[in-house]
Amino acid sequence: MANLNLILLGPPGSGKGTQGERLQEDLDLPYYATGDILRAAVKEKTDVGLKAQEFMDRGDLVPDEVLIGIIADRLESGEADHGFILDGFPRTVPQAEALDSKLHELGRSLTGVILIDSSDEEIVRRLSGRRVSVKDGHVYHVEFNPPKVDGICDIDGSELITRDDDKPEVVRHRLVQYHEKTAPLVDFYKQQGLLNRIEGGEPPEKVEESIRKLISTLSLEEGS
CATH number at residue 94: 3.40.50.300
Flag whether 59 is in a domain.
Answer: no
In the residue annotation, 16 being an active-site residue is answered as yes
Q: Contact at 8 Å (CB) between 198 and 117?
A: yes
Its domain, for residue 97, covers: 4-30+80-223
d(CA 175, CA 181): 10
The active-site residue, picked from 135, 163, 206, 213, is 163
Flag whether 179 is in a domain.
Answer: yes
Flag whether 38 is in a domain.
Answer: no
Predicted structure pTM score: 0.84
Flag whether 98 is in a domain.
Answer: yes
Residue 224 is predicted with a pLDDT of 55
Q: Cα-Cα-Cα-Cα dihedral of 113, 48, 66, 193, to 10°?
A: -20
Residue 24 is predicted with a pLDDT of 92
In the residue annotation, 39 being an active-site residue is answered as no
Flag whether 134 is in a domain.
Answer: yes
In the residue annotation, 108 being an active-site residue is answered as no
In the residue annotation, 91 being an active-site residue is answered as yes
Residue 197 is predicted with a pLDDT of 96
Flag whether 64 is in a domain.
Answer: no
Flag whether 68 is in a domain.
Answer: no
Cα-Cα end-to-end distance for the chain: 11
The residue ranges of the chain whose pLDDT is under 70 are 1-2, 222-224
In the residue annotation, 163 being an active-site residue is answered as yes
Flag whether 75 is in a domain.
Answer: no
| Count of structural domains within the chain | 1
Please classify residue 186 by burial: count the beta carbons closer than 10 Å to its beta carbon, then call 0-12 exposed, 13-18 middle and 19+ buried: middle
